[in-house]
Structure 1
Amino acid sequence: MTQRDHSLDTLLDLNGQVLVIDAAGYWVRFVVTQIPVSPEKPHGLDYTMTLHAPDGERLVGFDNAHQVKGQKGRATDHRHRHRTVKPYAYRDAAALVADFWSEVEAVMREQGVWS
């Protein structure tokens, strides 16, 4: 019997949230729904978490909505950073959220918005 991932509840609570994270107008959006486990979505989640610049440009994204170029088969967990897309090794909901915020922080520092 697999143990329930209690951090999943926290992740699911973020669904629909849009948060302005800086006075300059950078914002994040969370779309997270629980779905039946399938070969395409083995975690039982459909998720998209994104960081946007004030003009709406997506700077960071973590999702499992589509196939990653060069990967065969199903939609896979992956992350976007600017125009680069790389596979993401999903471990659990807590790690997903932590990894997303780490990437957000790194990009905000690169943009010179956070020091």
Structure 2
Amino acid sequence: MNASDMSCIYSTLRFVVAECKRHQIKPILTFDQPLWWKAQLIVANEPVDSDLSSLILRLGGFHTEMSFLGCIGNVMSASGLEELLGVVYAQNTVGHMMSGKALARAV
């Protein structure tokens, strides 16, 4: 199956929950951003008493860092940080850095 297919994600979530229930542990899954979003939609549309409600869905480290840098860029948008970075980096690159897209340069 295609990994981004909703039925593939749903069956994976069901499998993980069943295995964790069998081993009596809490199910925690880490996804990249697009799959995490789809998994969140699936879990949110399940009934409250569903087994899937016990899932803890985490965003992968790379996408968490991108989101964090994007938040910094949003908070610092009118502080002069863009102009300061524009002295060292190309102006087009600064926009990507402030949005969290140019992760390697921003770090």
**What TM-score results when the alignment is normalised by the length of structure 1?**
0.22
Q: Which has the higher helix share?
A: 2
